[in-house]
A and B are shown apart, each in its own frame.
Chain A
């Protein structure tokens, strides 16, 4: 299995705050990696380090065999990395379709406007926003904006997709739909790292899980291993039986 992304000893500080401490993992192509941890554990910071928003102080990030530790966000996008934002970032005064066309035009395949139009229509159907394509992005509700984030990321035809809490703020039926969408994305062969607080969903979807706590990588393994890991239970889940219960509910 080829390694798509390799994160080696990545450390990030904000002044006196140690946001990430020597985070190290390899992500093979085609897998879904769940990234979990309590609030403030450094999950989004890790995403920001990978896609170039905040370059790390120490360590290396290797994407598709190339050193990209201090690459700009647009360079990463053009290399095939796409992400969604925890706090949605729609291009408000553009239509939903135009938002998605931006993803297709400037992503790794660098499409012309007319190709991007076709891709955007297809991706919007896929995430279920087809009928909204002519609306302004500002007029969507939160669940729809999360789907829009997803559509923009997918339209760039990424190799690696970073999903930052796409389920947060959604009701249970919306969560069900979104989980189905994530599974369908994996079927397309796209590698995914997802940050998620909805345990049931992340345990269910991920191939492997990495747990962060105060910027430290405290565990890594399959969902079953993680749900039984004492450190994780202690640091994150609190109640030792909660993880099992959550898995059984499914």
Chain B
């Protein structure tokens, strides 16, 4: 394969994300910027989850734990120790990475449903921990001292800045997703997904590869958590560790197509679009999560490979472009 062909699959994902980033900038509309922020956040989280779910084949039901934990750690340093948002994000990303490394050593030996159950348990355990940990404010959580925003030119400017940082994180998530997919490491992950025992017989050191995939899938969510809580100005346990958000992430990845770079991006985009419609509609606003459940059910029953997987299967010519 020529080296430029290998990166052909990156074109569409970049275009889609660039479109989402440019939309509020061109229209110069604050509410569009908020919508775009939400979509970018979903794309970054779904793309990260895809490294574990789509490439390695391990279903993590509690992936949001890395977002919450990293966010807590980062915000703590920003709020209590006067660190800049950059240092805070770095701390959040590293903290989530280390958590994933330790968890990976402990629970990645579980397979299938057992691993999925363990990840739910960890999310709930972490929520209970945050509820009882005084340094993180216990059940009240932490409220950001608004004077922190001054360093960035006031609250309005700081909010604007978070949008650009979010855009940067989304591009980073995208590039990580693509380079893992097209690397030798990624081929090892795909082999594990298809048949872990056979992969090991061929020399893939599965315990290590899985742990690093888990770590890679945790770092960006940790950083996104810090950024989001910084933007929100506060964090509390139910906001940081919402189990339903974990499931929404799964729906996004499955909807777009697990194991592809473009799939989670389109899935996140479509899901956020649908959610935006549902929560504002009179009829659906209280039952929007049930609609998500039905969507997940339909995907699993009828297009288990997701939209992109379905297209790739139907039109093999597209395989190069729809990586």
Contacts and interface: CB of A to CB of B under 8 A. Distances in A.
Interface string A73-95: 11001100011010001111110
A56 interface: no
B110 interface: no
29 contacts: A51-B201, A53-B201, A73-B197, A73-B200, A77-B200, A77-B201, A77-B202, A77-B203, A83-B201, A89-B197, A89-B201, A90-B195, A91-B190, A91-B194, A91-B195, A91-B198, A92-B194, A98-B187, A102-B199, A102-B204, A105-B203, A106-B191, A106-B204, A107-B202, A107-B203, A112-B184, A114-B1, A117-B1, A152-B202
A112 B183 CA distance: 9
A77 B183 CA distance: 20
B203 A74 contact: yes
Nearest to A95: B319
The range of chain A's interface size is 20 to 34
A101 interface: yes
B188 interface: yes
A166 B200 CA distance: 20
Nearest to B194: A91
Nearest to B316: A134
Interface string A87-130: 00111111000100111011110001110110000000000000
A110 to B, nearest CB: 8
Interface of A: 51, 53, 72-74, 77-78, 82-83, 85, 89-94, 98, 101-103, 105-108, 112-114, 116-117, 152, 156
A77 B199 CA distance: 10
Given A93-B194, A113-B183, A73 B201 contact: yes
Given A93-B259, A105-B188, 16 more contacts: A53-B197, A73-B200, A74-B203, A77-B203, A89-B198, A90-B194, A91-B194, A92-B195, A102-B187, A106-B203, A106-B204, A106-B205, A112-B184, A116-B184, A152-B202, A156-B202
B206 interface: yes
B203 A94 contact: no
Contacts of A152: 202
Contacts of A105: 184, 187-188, 203
Contacts of B1: 114, 117
Contacts of A74: 200-201, 203-206
Contacts of A103: 202-203
Contacts of B190: 91, 93-94, 98
Contacts of B200: 72-74, 77
Nearest to B190: A94
A152 B202 CA distance: 8
Q: Which 10 A-B pairs have the closest CB atoms?
A: A77-B203, A106-B203, A91-B194, A89-B198, A73-B200, A102-B191, A74-B200, A73-B201, A74-B205, A113-B184
Interface string B170-196: 000000000000011001101101110
Contact of A101 (B187, B195, B197, B206): B187
Interface string B196-227: 01111111111000000000000000000000
A114 B184 CA distance: 9
A94 B194 contact: yes
A53 B259 CA distance: 28
Contacts of A72: 200
A73 B193 CA distance: 17
Q: Looking at B183, B184, B205, B259, which has the most chain A CB atoms within 10 Å of its CB?
A: B184
Q: Looking at B191, B195, B259, which has the most chain A CB atoms within 10 Å of its CB?
A: B191
Contact of A85 (B188, B198, B199): B198
Contacts of B195: 89-92
B197 A106 contact: no
A67 B35 CA distance: 61
